[in-house]
Amino acid sequence: MTPLEQLPEWQTFSQAAHQAQVNLKRLRLVQAASLTLDFSGQRNSAQLEQAAGQLLTARQFEQWQQQLLQGEPINITENRAAWHTMLRAPAPIAEVAAERERVNAFIRNADATRRWRHIVHIGIGGSDWGVRLTVNAFGYTKRWRNVRFVSNIDGHAIASGLANLDPHDTLVVIASKSFATAETLLNANRAREWLKAANVCDPEGQIVAVTANPEAARQWGVPSTQIFKLWDWVGGRFSIWSAVNLTTALAVNSDVVAGMHAGSAAMDQHFEEAPWQQNGPIQMALAGLVNRSVLGYGSLNIAPYDARLSDLVPYLQQLEMESLGKSVDIQGNPMTVPTGPAVWGMPGTDAQHTFFQWLHQGSDGAPVDFVVCQQADHDWQEHHQSLLANCLAQREAMLIGKDFDQARNECLAQGHDPDTADWLAKHRVHQGGRPNTLIVLPKLSPYTLGALLALYEHKIAVQARLWGINPFDQWGVEYGKNLATNILNALQAPDDPAQQPDTLDASTHHWIRQFQQKH
């Protein structure tokens, strides 16, 4: 694959992007699987659109898209498919359908017997954020089971995760694709000890595992009938569609999982069939490339205007940054254009009172994805209209800005004298032209949340194809884990010279010594 910067189509695209403007007079809407995407706040021009089409062709995007959707091994550094779409397909392959039925049967039985008032979901990263997001989005009303999420290796996490629960009525869900993640195994050991300490007669009978490594789960002690399959062709951060969501089905209901499958499958169909000009994931990807690799914005802000979506940002942080945080292309050549942005954010309107000052008047600023639901699930119209008004207003302020004269007139109108107005106005100018996309969900439902998450999954895949990077591996997470193992050995065996790593920098060496003293 030709490095991006050497592609003439890239030169044309970036030139057109530099010349393009945000056209405030033109409404640019794309309908995608019940979602409405408004790109009016992104740069656009006929030249940029033409260049985008040529760039997609130069990158043989359609061929690659088919390879992705048909489960070919496009994750070349791990020689695997990235076939998360198959997990939510209306008519999946037999083994996926069989596993889906095994999970549903387990849920039906647990519900019929009213077992497990408490669920402790132990998992981290892709085995955690999606379930947290879903349970917190849909589980805040009418449920009789309560869920505790334990991910961090910090013992305070498992301590609060198990606090005040009845061990005899608690199900422990161990979610781990690899069944080898240190945090998850340590927390699972603690949970099993807790069950045993409470004289639970069959501790393992209250433990289920969701994993692509069933043998390891068996050896750990999970009964085979309570091991639910994940496949190595599903990336952890793309696994919310799998049995990992068993906890949501228990905590809320199975309809939530089925609804998310339906919404995401509809987005898969849109992604595959809609022409690129009217294709939500592709248009989001192109806008992201302009903002990141042409205009040089270092980050992307996600602003979900819905208190129920408090975990959307960390979910998308992993999805985006673990996928696109790459600085070499698929051949291993160093990238010479910026790739995946830092992703950050917080629900609106909290974010307005936290960091929107920076978004409005900071020297860098950042593109913003505003996410909002047209309809609320409560009856307080004034609350919802205020939420919608704030979302549109913040977006408007970033788009149109406020120039010096407007600010000065404002100061004069507030009674300031001309000199003070001249001075103050400079502090009140808003640059404007700050790019953003508005994503409108008719309401927050499993269907629309499924569609929203699939939208971002496909956007990321498109961006990776255009940059020429592999979005489905995450080699960068291993080095720190390996160093942690060595340092842990040193902390646990201070008197064993063989366990003392000798390649460490002075500072790490010092603190290992300090921390060894404390034990």
Residues carrying an active site annotation:
322, 353, 481
Give the integer Cα–Cα distance in Å for 177 and 152: 16
- Position among 181, 187, 283, 323 found at the interface with ligand F6P (CB under 6 A): 181
User: Do strands 368-375 and 207-211 pair parallel, antiparallel, or not at all (unpaired)?
Assistant: unpaired
Q: Taking the alpha carbons of 128, 131, 134, 137 in that order, is the dihedral positive or negative?
A: negative
CA angle, residues 254, 320, 338, in degrees to nearest 5: 170
Stretch that binds ligand F6P, among 10-18, 171-179, 391-399, 450-458 (CB under 6 A): 171-179
Q: How far apart are the first and last CA of the chain?
A: 53
CA angle, residues 339, 318, 6, in degrees to nearest 5: 15
Residues 319-348 interacting with ligand F6P (rule: CB under 6 A): 322
| 177 scored as a contact of ligand F6P (CB under 6 A) | yes
DSSP state of 362: S
> Torsions phi, psi of 32, nearest 5?
-145, 105
Q: Starting at the edge strand that comes first in sequence, how are the strands of the sheet with 29-32 ordered? A: 29-32, 35-38, 436-443, 368-375, 299-305, 342-345
Q: Considering the complex, what minimum distance in angstroms separates the CB of residue 113 from ligand F6P?
A: 29
| 317 scored as a contact of ligand F6P (CB under 6 A) | no
| 127 scored as a contact of ligand F6P (CB under 6 A) | yes
H or E element, residue 436? strand 436-443
- Position among 42, 264, 323, 474 found at the interface with ligand F6P (CB under 6 A): 474
> Torsions phi, psi of 207, nearest 5?
-130, 130
Q: Which lies closer to ligand F6P via its Cβ, residue 146 or residue 189?
A: 189
Q: Considering the complex, what minimum distance in angstroms separates the CB of residue 433 from ligand F6P?
A: 36
| 87 scored as a contact of ligand F6P (CB under 6 A) | no
Q: Which lies closer to ligand F6P via its Cβ, residue 65 or residue 184?
A: 184
Contacts for 255 with CB less than 8 Å, ≥ 6 apart: 446
Q: Which lies closer to ligand F6P via its Cβ, residue 170 or residue 176?
A: 176
Q: Which lies closer to ligand F6P via its Cβ, residue 9 or residue 322?
A: 322
Stretch that binds ligand F6P, among 46-54, 105-113, 120-128, 412-420 (CB under 6 A): 120-128
Stretch that binds ligand F6P, among 10-18, 124-132, 295-303, 349-357 (CB under 6 A): 124-132
Q: Considering the complex, what minimum distance in angstroms separates the CB of residue 314 from ligand F6P?
A: 12
Give the integer Cα–Cα distance in Å for 332 and 326: 10
Stretch that binds ligand F6P, among 177-185, 268-276, 279-287, 350-358 (CB under 6 A): 177-185
Q: Considering the complex, what minimum distance in angstroms separates the CB of residue 104 from ligand F6P?
A: 22
- Position among 86, 124, 421, 487 found at the interface with ligand F6P (CB under 6 A): 124
| 126 scored as a contact of ligand F6P (CB under 6 A) | yes
Stretch that binds ligand F6P, among 130-138, 170-178, 391-399, 486-494 (CB under 6 A): 170-178
**CA dist list (Å): 481 to 181, 321, 476:** 9, 18, 10
| 125 scored as a contact of ligand F6P (CB under 6 A) | yes
Are residues 284 and 459 in contact, defined by beta-carbon separation less than 8 angstroms?
yes
Q: Which lies closer to ligand F6P via its Cβ, residue 184 or residue 245?
A: 184
**CA dist list (Å): 425 to 358, 398, 409, 432:** 18, 17, 8, 15
Stretch that binds ligand F6P, among 21-29, 119-127, 186-194, 406-414 (CB under 6 A): 119-127
| 236 scored as a contact of ligand F6P (CB under 6 A) | yes
Q: Which lies closer to ligand F6P via its Cβ, residue 47 or residue 178?
A: 178
Give the integer Cα–Cα distance in Å for 389 and 249: 34
Tell me whether the omega of the peptide bond preceding residue 420 falls within 30 degrees of 0, making it cis.
no
Are residues 5 and 337 in contact, defined by beta-carbon separation less than 8 angstroms?
yes
**How many chain residues interact with ligand F6P (CB under 6 A)?**
14
**CA dist list (Å): 116 to 166, 248, 304:** 10, 13, 32
- Position among 176, 247, 339, 352 found at the interface with ligand F6P (CB under 6 A): 176
Q: Considering the complex, what minimum distance in angstroms separates the CB of residue 235 from ligand F6P?
A: 7
Q: What residue ranges bind ligand F6P (CB under 6 A)?
A: 124-127, 176-178, 181, 184, 236-237, 322, 474, 477
